[in-house]
Structures are given as structure tokens and as C-alpha cells.
Structure 1
Amino acid sequence: MKARPREAGSTLASASKFLSAIAMLMIPALALSGPAKPAGTPSEQLTKSASKNVARPQVHVEKRTSRYWRVTFDNPPFNIFGPDTIPQLEDVVAQIETDPNLRVVVFDSAVPGYFLTHYDFDPPLSASTDLPSGSTGLHPLPDMLVRISRAPVVSIALIRGRATGVGSELALASDMRFASKEKAILSQWEVGASLVPGGGPMARLPRLIGRGRALEVLLGSDDINGDLAAQYGYVNRAFPDTQLDGFVDGLALRISGFDRQAIADTKRLVDFASLPSDPEIGAGWDAFITSVQRPVAQKNITRLMEMGLQKNPDVEARLGHYTEALGER
């Protein structure tokens, strides 16, 4: 599908298509997840979702100093990213953008084996579709990724465990990425399930690793370990796991001691030379919306849910293997 630049008003049209598309995709998955959830209006469902958010936070902020924060994802057992996560991360992103003292933020995980994984297919549809667009005019997920990239603050992804789908896209949106040689796995799994990735990897990956390797990652839909990710430039460097935290912490503390305006100005000029435009990110999101409407995508997500997606640790740990099993022979 040929990508087209976004025009004014396209966000509302995309939101409408998103509602119908995700409905078709998720209803089969919801049917597999157990008894039907209680009925309610969109506002009632959002209220329940908000209450659930308050009961179990999934994103924690540790202010190690006034200039250096750790943002930790904590949604066991698999660190799946869903509509409950979006407002929590949105609140953190807003703080990152506006705190006058902050210089560096490091994203990491409290869940062993998982940095951050794919989108959650279980919640009520309104929990996703009723969320308003972000300040860029994009859906809140790509909106937050764009804003992280452009914030006047240095962002670093510390990847230990699986960074799959949204996790890979958050890492790509960060300014730097450092991975565990033994424990990091990066993956854009979507094409293996007949989807198009929606968080911007088609726009970001070619700039980092070149066109051929980007297509290998995206179309191969397979796991990339920490060593190979470093060789390709998918991450800055891969370290032995015992050295990863010390290096990232030392770099973050070093940068946090520098002048904030010099950091912000230097980053802004690098952004100008290297970041994709909003229309590029938006075209990817529109392609995702189109892809989820296709019957083959609905069939494959349903099959993955039957195999144990979001429930079976082996499926989550070897998602590349299970998506390969979906392919035609």
C-alpha cells in the first residue's frame, strides 16, 4: 500500500477506522479469553479501566536525582502494553517534557525476561478506541513515541529481556539503546501475523541500520539477539549482562551533570537531521489500521490466542517460532 502524507482531519477518520478494525480483530480473541465482560457504556468501561490503573500501576518513576530518572515497566508476567498502560505512560511523558531540571531518563523493566512486549488484545474495545489523540494529532501510542524522541531530555532504553512490537518501537524512539548480550531479544513480529507494525519502525529502522537490514528485521519477523542487534546498529552496544546496569547508570549520570540547554540544543539539531516526520509515522499507523481489517490478520491473531498468546510463557518467549507456524507452506 502506498503511504500518503497525513492531511488535516485524517486523525478523526483514522480513529473511526481504528474502532471498526480493532473490533473485528479483537472480538475473536475476546471470545477465547473466557466469559464475556460486563456490559457498560464506553464511559463506564473507561472508569473501570481507570480504577484498575489505580489499583495496579504498570509504570513506575524513580527520581534517582532531580536530573536523572528511571522509568520502569512492571506489568507481569509478560509486560504486555495495553490501553491501561497508555494513560500511565502519557502522564510520565508529560512530566518528561515539562520538568525544568530533568536531563536524562532511562527506560527499563522490573519483569524478568521482558523489557516490554506487544499490545494487549484482551480489554474492552472502548478502553483503546475512546482514548483521545495526542498533541501531535496521532493516536496516543505513536504520539507518545514521537514526543519521547523530540523531548529536550536524553532517553535511553536499557533492554534486558524481550522488546517485542511496542517494546522495540519504544526502544527505537529512544535516543540510545543498550542491550544485554545474554538476555536481550528485539523483534518486530507483526508481519508474521499478517499485520503491519504501527509504532513507526518502518520510518526509524532504515535510518539506523539501512534498508536491507531493516527489511530483514521487519519482514523476517524473527528474534534478534543482543549481539546481532549491536552488529546491525539496532542498539548502540550490547554488554555482558553483569555490566549493563553499571554502564547505563554511569552514562546517564555523566550526561545528567551537563548543561541542560546545551543538551537540548544539541539533541534538537540531531533530531532535525535524523528523525522521521509525523506524516511518515502517521502513514505507518494508517497501514496498521488497514492491515488489521484483513481476514487473514484476524484469523492469525485468533490462532495465536488459541496457541496461548498472552497466557503461555513459551508462546511469549518464542513468538518468532509461533508466527512462523502461521505461514503458508
Structure 2
Amino acid sequence: MSFENILVEKNDRVATVTINRPTKLNALNKATIKELNEAFTELQSDDSVRAIIVTGSGEKAFVAGADISEFADFDDEQGAALAATGHDLLFNFVEHLSKPVIAAVNGFALGGGLELAMSCHFRIASDNAKMGLPEVTLGVIPGYGGTQRLPQLVGKGKAMEMIMTAGMLTAEEAKTWGLVNHVVPQAELLGLANDLAQKIAKNSPVALAKAIETVNAGFDKDADGFMTEIRSFGYCFGTEDFKEGTTAFLEKRKPEFTGR
């Protein structure tokens, strides 16, 4: 895969997607969102990839926000279309990807950057990371899922405070609030991300995909999370991965999952 604004590297069943616009602090523009969609689509169908890491280039920013110059003159209809397209191409797309996605937050994750990190299935951060949703300082609200995913992760009251004050959290505060799972020195961030991805990659791709689907259903007002769990649990019993996993357990060996 060759892109202008992102880098994609594959190594031992793990793909690393790096947003590579360092002179713009890796800000998300339309072209970058489109490229990320294309990369995730290809990785989704690549059987050699079992887990995905998303990070930003350099040491300053994961993604410092959206590229404001692209929409500063939009009207209300254009603004709504911008948000809808972003949801479809990237933010909802990543959240519902069947392969686990880890956000390795290596600096500022603001606005659309934090929204991208929250779309991933979980987050880890470097100790210099700072996270926030500053959109109200521009006269707008978070439009790429921030008003929905942040309360799910940190609770309604804390989310309201973050959004209304446009304040930033340090990495340790984000960990305390439940926004990130781990905080490490920046030099150790990708190593930890890869260690976690490798642990994930050893497990059944079918089970991982169903786990993502089922957990997401629990936060979907139009879905029944418990019924989704029951159906997904039953589905797993009809897979080759289930047969391999149970057989390997009984034979006291490590399973070799195929994702079927």
C-alpha cells in the first residue's frame, strides 16, 4: 500500500498505520481520512493481519485535530455532510472493524484526533500525551463521535466538563479517568502496543470479531447486547477456530487458529 499522508507497515501478523503529516501535527484532512479508510479496508481483508496499531509520526502529536482550513467557510448543510462522511469513512468504520485496533497516542490527541483514538477498540498513551475536545472554542461541537464516545468511556459528567471547558487531560489523568489503559514513556509506546497486539494476534480471529461486534452492541440503543452475545456465542461453536481451540486445550498444546 502506497499513500501520501499515511504509512502502513506489516510485521508478524500486526499492521501499524502511522498518520504522517508532521508539519501539520498530523491533522486530519479529507485526503487523510480517505487514505485511512482505504488502508483499513485493505487490512480488514488481509488474512495475514490479526491486529492493527494506529499512531502518529514524530514525537509531538498523535493527531492534533482536524484541518480547520478545509471547512472554515462551510454552511450548516455542508457541516452536517462533513460529519456524516467522516463517520462513514473512518470513525464508525474503525469502531466496527472486525480486527482489533489499538490507538498508540504519542502526543497531542485533540478534536478529531481524540475522536479517532476513541473509535479504536482501546488506547494506550505516552507520558507526554495530552487529550481534549476543544471544538467549542471554534463555535462548534465535536462532530466525529466525541459527544457519544467520550461519555461511554469516562462518564457523562466528566465528558460534559471536558467538552464544555475545552480542557486537556494529561496522560495520567486520562488513565485515571479510564480514557486510556496504559501510560508509558514515549520510547516504550510502540513496543507496548506491539506486545499487546501480539497477545491479541494469538487468539481466534473469529472470536475476536464476534467479541468486538457484541461489545459494540451493548452501546447501541437499537441493538440488544445480550441477544447479540447469545447469537455470537452460538455462532462460534460452528467454526473451525472453536474446534481447534477446544482440541488444542484438551491435547495440551497451543492452538493454530485460521480465522474460519
TM-score range, shorter chain: 0.7 to 0.9
Classify the secondary structure of the residue corresponding to 1:235: coil
How big is the alpha-carbon RMSD for the aligned residues of Structure 1 and Structure 2?
2.6
Give the C-alpha shift of residue 91 in structure 1.
0.6
Letter in 2 for 1:205: L
Q: For 1:306-329, what per-residue CA distance to the aligned partner results, in whole angstroms no more than 9, with x for missing partners?
A: xxxxxxxxxxxxxxxxxxxxxxxx
Structure 1 residue 257 corresponds to structure 2 residue 202: yes
Counterpart residue number, 1:62: 9
d(CA) in 2 for partners of 1:165, 1:277: 27
Give the C-alpha shift of residue 150 in structure 1.
0.8
d(CA) in 2 for partners of 1:124, 1:209: 29
Counterpart residue number, 1:151: 97
Q: For 1:80-108, what per-residue CA distance to the aligned partner results, in whole angstroms no more than 9, with x for missing partners?
A: 11122122112112113333343210001
The 8 Å contact of residues 8 and 17 in structure 2, kept in 1 or not, is answered as yes
With structure 2 as the length reference, what TM-score do the two structures score? 0.75
Equivalent runs, 1:132-147 vs 2, <5 Å: 139-143=84-88, 144-147=90-93
Q: For 1:19-39, what per-residue CA distance to the aligned partner results, in whole angstroms no more than 9, with x for missing partners?
A: xxxxxxxxxxxxxxxxxxxxx
Give the C-alpha shift of residue 63 in structure 1.
0.9
Deviating more after overlay: 267-276 vs 172-181: 267-276
Is the alpha carbon distance of 1:218 and 1:124 closer, same or farther for their aligned partners in structure 2, counting shifts above 3 Å? closer
Structure 1 residue 206 corresponds to structure 2 residue 148: no
Counterpart residue number, 1:105: 52
d(CA) in 2 for partners of 1:63, 1:190: 34
Counterpart residue number, 1:37: none
Give the C-alpha shift of residue 170 in structure 1.
0.4
Give the C-alpha shift of residue 277 in structure 1.
6.6
The 8 Å contact of residues 86 and 140 in structure 1, kept in 2 or not, is answered as no
The 8 Å contact of residues 66 and 113 in structure 2, kept in 1 or not, is answered as no
Letter in 1 for 2:216: D
Q: For 1:37-65, what per-residue CA distance to the aligned partner results, in whole angstroms no more than 9, with x for missing partners?
A: xxxxxxxxxxxxxxxxx8x7111110113
The 8 Å contact of residues 111 and 134 in structure 2, kept in 1 or not, is answered as yes
Is the alpha carbon distance of 1:195 and 1:276 closer, same or farther for their aligned partners in structure 2, counting shifts above 3 Å? farther
Counterpart residue number, 1:167: 113
Aligned with residue 176 of structure 1, among 118, 122, 142: 122
d(CA) in 1 for partners of 2:217, 2:86: 22
Aligned with residue 116 of structure 1, among 63, 86, 89: 63
Counterpart residue number, 1:196: 141
Structure 1 residue 248 corresponds to structure 2 residue 193: yes
The 8 Å contact of residues 10 and 49 in structure 2, kept in 1 or not, is answered as no
d(CA) in 2 for partners of 1:276, 1:240: 38
d(CA) in 2 for partners of 1:232, 1:277: 27
Aligned with residue 31 of structure 2, among 63, 80, 84: 84
The answer for unaligned runs of 5 or more in structure 2 is 224-260
Give the C-alpha shift of residue 210 in structure 1.
0.7
Counterpart residue number, 2:251: none
The 8 Å contact of residues 75 and 111 in structure 1, kept in 2 or not, is answered as no
d(CA) in 2 for partners of 1:104, 1:59: 17
Give the C-alpha shift of residue 174 in structure 1.
0.4
Classify the secondary structure of the residue corresponding to 2:47: coil
What percentage of residue pairs aligned between the two structures are identical?
Answer: 26
Give the C-alpha shift of residue 124 in structure 1.
8.6
The 8 Å contact of residues 204 and 275 in structure 1, kept in 2 or not, is answered as no
d(CA) in 1 for partners of 2:182, 2:31: 32
Q: For 1:67-86, what per-residue CA distance to the aligned partner results, in whole angstroms no more than 9, with x for missing partners?
A: 31000011021111112212
The answer for unaligned runs of 5 or more in structure 1 is 1-53, 279-329
Task: With a CA cutoff of 8 Å and minimum separation of 6, indicate the structure with the bigger relative contact order.
Answer: 1
d(CA) in 2 for partners of 1:125, 1:228: 32
d(CA) in 1 for partners of 2:143, 2:196: 31
Equivalent runs, 1:3-22 vs 2, <5 Å: none
With structure 1 as the length reference, what TM-score do the two structures score? 0.60
The 8 Å contact of residues 68 and 253 in structure 1, kept in 2 or not, is answered as yes
Deviating more after overlay: 139-148 vs 158-167: 139-148
d(CA) in 1 for partners of 2:167, 2:136: 10
